[in-house]
A and B are shown apart, each in its own frame.
Chain A
Amino acid sequence: MIISVRYKLFIFSIIILGINVALGYAVYNSDRKLLDSEQWLQHSEQVIIQSSNVRALGREMQITSRDFLITDDSVFLEPLNHSQKAAFGYIVLLRQLTRDNPAQQKLTDSLDLYMHKLVNYSAKTIELRGKQGIASVIAYTGDKNRKRYTERINQIANAIQLQEDILYKQRKQINTRNEAAFSRFSLIVFMLMAGFTILLVIVAGKYLYQAKEKRKRAAELAVANRELMFQNKEKENRAAELAVANRELLFQNQEKGRRAAELVVANDELLFQNQEKGNRAAELIVANKELLFQNGEKGKRAAELIIANKELQFQNTEKEKRAEELLIANNELLFQNEEKEKRAWELLIANKELLFQNEEKEKRAAELTIANQELVFQNNEKEKRAAELKLADEERLKMVHELLQRNRELEQFAYIVSHNLRAPVANIIGASTALSEMGLSAEEKAILRQGISASAIKVDDVIHDLNHILQIKSKINETKEIVTFSGLVDDIKASIARLVDQNDVEIKYDFPEINEFFTIKPYLYSIFLNLISNSVKYRRPGNHCVIEIVSHLLNDKIELTFSDNGLGIDLDKKGGQVFGLYKRFHPHIEGKGIGLFMVKTQVEALGGNISLTSEENVGTEFKIEFGI
């Protein structure tokens, strides 16, 4: 059990207080005893003094009364009376002082008795002296009673004194004992008090020190608490940050998972595309064979035409035979005319019949009028339908036209691709034939092998490009978003920063009228990137290259202009080929001839069109229009 220091102090104080009260009471008691014994001692002293007084007065009374008797002088009467009074006063006092001592009371009573006897005797003698003279007195006093009374008084007084003396001695002893006890008690009390006081001072000091310590500790605890509170808050913050970081990590893990899944899908896609490429190559070989086969077919058709000519000659002879047959048919007609006259008669009869029928027809005509009105209405309806059909027809024509255009483009595309595929393929065939059939030096063989692998890479490049282009043509369903032109240019600037810095290139843009377009961002990015990097690539050497991109808003169209001060193109000669696949105009500058083809394809995929103006050694300006 833990008792607080304050409580301990309280209990300790209570105990000390109790002890002090007990000691105080003991001292008080001892003091009273001492006082009592002192009083008793005084009483004894008084008794001794009073009794000796009484004894002295008794003798004096004897003497004064004798003097009067002798002299009969009244002078002596007064001290006698005075002594008598005093003696009785002392006896009263004695009685009072010894009221607690029956033995002494008895003695006092007898003292009083003898004193009265003496007084009475004195009074008798005085009376006798006055009336009968001295002789009677002497006679009277012959019994010597006075002397006996006086001696008796002396004896009693002495007894009282003796007795009291013994008492005094006893009381003195008691008093001395009490005094000693009192001083002992006083010493003990003083020592105890001093001890308690010191203890109290020590305890109080200790308590005060502890209180001080506690206050110090409390202050330290307050500081520590504040520190703890701050640390707790910090911990909470850290915990919150950790929670956020954990969530972030979780999200990134999920993202990684998704990316991994996408990569797996992309890998599958690539595998599939590779297989497709193989298939296409096989198909191309098949197509080539087909072409050869068709050539053979044409030769067959020529042979068939000769047969057809022979057929025509045969038909001419047939016609001559038919002419002869016609002559016979004329004769037949003459016979038939005769027959017709006979029929005329029959017609007359028939006319009558017709009249009757005409009447009937008029009736029918009325009915027909109504039917006609119905028809007119139906005609109007039909015209409306026809107009609608015409519109649909026009639409269809337009579509057919577009399809034809697309078809021509595809043909052109197929031609270009097959051409670009054939070149390296021919190279591979030629080189491999040379390798296997001719006796070549090791050096020549090495060169040809290099050529074969370079050509194989070219084939792969072409197939790669082809795939890329076909993707654009097929993936028009990608999600659209709002793209800002300035953001796009800034992104591209950042991505080609090195190229720009190294080549003294300045890219300016201004899109005050319209800076946003809802479209497929990757396409627009590719268009911007191709045009900008084209301008950088075909800049004029030694000339500060400036590229300017501006947008305008025209009714329902966005017009984007990309202009540069680069090499430019001779459009009179090359105009038709600028956007062609694998068309190149600056052989000294590295390139594949696919950039502008891609730009045109992507612009058209986004529903726009692109055109350009250019002058050699002045610059080029591309203009793109998108419908909103």
Chain B
Amino acid sequence: MNTDVRFILVDDDEIHNILHDIIIKSILGKGADIETFTEPEKGLEFIQKNYPESSDRTVLLLDLDMPKISGWEFLARYDEFSDEIKMQISIYVLSISLDRRDSNKAGHNKNVRGFISKPLTAKMILSIAGNEFEN
């Protein structure tokens, strides 16, 4: 399996990030490239700083319900980034929400590749990985 995929995890809940990190590493191996952010601004800053120079394929798992900057606001600011950056990053919304309106809204955002309902499982990571390699 190609381990060149980088994962960026943006979730205000530290425990979620740790769990997701462990699950991803169980699929991609201990050496998997994973960046975690509990503050969305820091995630945006990281992207601004490291892209588009980095040539890695990147999957960004984004939580919706966060204080100060919500997932939607994150997406709005992300939309202002250059197309080159957006080409390199696939965003998946990873939310606890059961509300159809949330999944519909995510589906209608052109920068969002998919809506995943928590809890994240190894199977979901596999299907995301598969999805990425198809494209």
**Which residues of A line the B interface, CB within 8 A?**
288, 291, 415, 418-419, 422-423, 426-427, 429-431, 433-434, 437-440, 444, 447-448, 451, 454-455, 583-587, 593
Interface string of B101-123 (1 = CB under 8 A from A): 00000000000000000111110
Question: Do A422 and B12 contact each other (CB < 8 Å), given the known contacts A448-B22, A586-B68?
Answer: no
> Which residues from chain B sit less than 8 Å from chain A, CB to CB?
12-13, 15-16, 18-19, 22-23, 26, 39, 65, 67-68, 96-99, 118-122
Q: How far is the CB of A428 from chain B (nearest CB, A)?
A: 8
Instruction: Name 10 extra pairs, CB < 8 A, besides A423-B118, A455-B15.
Output: A291-B98, A415-B99, A418-B98, A423-B65, A426-B118, A429-B119, A430-B23, A439-B26, A444-B22, A451-B19
Docked complex Cα distance between A429 and B120 (Å): 9
The answer to whether A434 touches B12 (Cβ under 8 A) is no
Are B96 and A440 closer than 8 Å at their CB atoms?
no
Check if A451 sits within 8 Å of B96, measured CB to CB.
no
Q: How far is the CA of A586 from the CA of B121 in the complex (A)?
A: 31
Check A454 against B15 for contact (C-beta < 8 Å).
yes
Q: Which A-chain residue is minimally distant from B23 (CB atoms)? A: A434
Identify the closest chain A residue to B120 (Cβ).
A430
Q: Using Cβ atoms and an 8 Å threshold, which residues of chain A touch B67? A: 583-587, 593
**Distance in Å from the Cβ of B62 to the closest Cβ of chain A?**
15
Contact of B19 among A288, A430, A584, A586 (CB under 8 A): A430
Residues of B within 8 A of A444 (CB): 22
Q: Are B121 and A587 in touch, CB under 8 angstroms? A: no
Residue numbers in B under 8 Å from A426 (CB-CB)? 96, 118-119
A597 to chain B, nearest CB (A): 14
Complex Cα distance, B94 from A430, in Å, reads: 13
Q: From B26, which residue of chain A is reached at the shortest CB distance?
A: A438
What are the nearest 4 A-B pairs in CB distance? A430-B119, A584-B67, A426-B118, A426-B119
Contact of B13 among A423, A438, A585, A593 (CB under 8 A): A423
A434 and B118 in contact (CB under 8 A), knowing A419-B96, A423-B96?
A: no
Residues of B within 8 A of A440 (CB): 22, 26
Bound-complex Cα distance A444 to B119 (A) = 18
B19 CB contacts on chain A under 8 angstroms: 427, 430-431, 434, 448, 451
Residues of B within 8 A of A583 (CB): 67
Name 20 interchain pairs, CB-CB below 8 A, sorted by A: A288-B98, A419-B96, A422-B98, A422-B118, A423-B16, A426-B96, A427-B13, A427-B16, A429-B119, A430-B118, A434-B19, A438-B22, A439-B26, A444-B22, A448-B19, A451-B18, A451-B19, A583-B67, A586-B68, A587-B67
> Quick one: which of B18, B39, B98, B119 has the most chain A CB within 10 A?
B119
- The smallest beta-carbon distance between A456 and chain B, in angstroms, is 11
Candidates A419, A447, A585, A587; contact of B18 at CB < 8 Å = A447
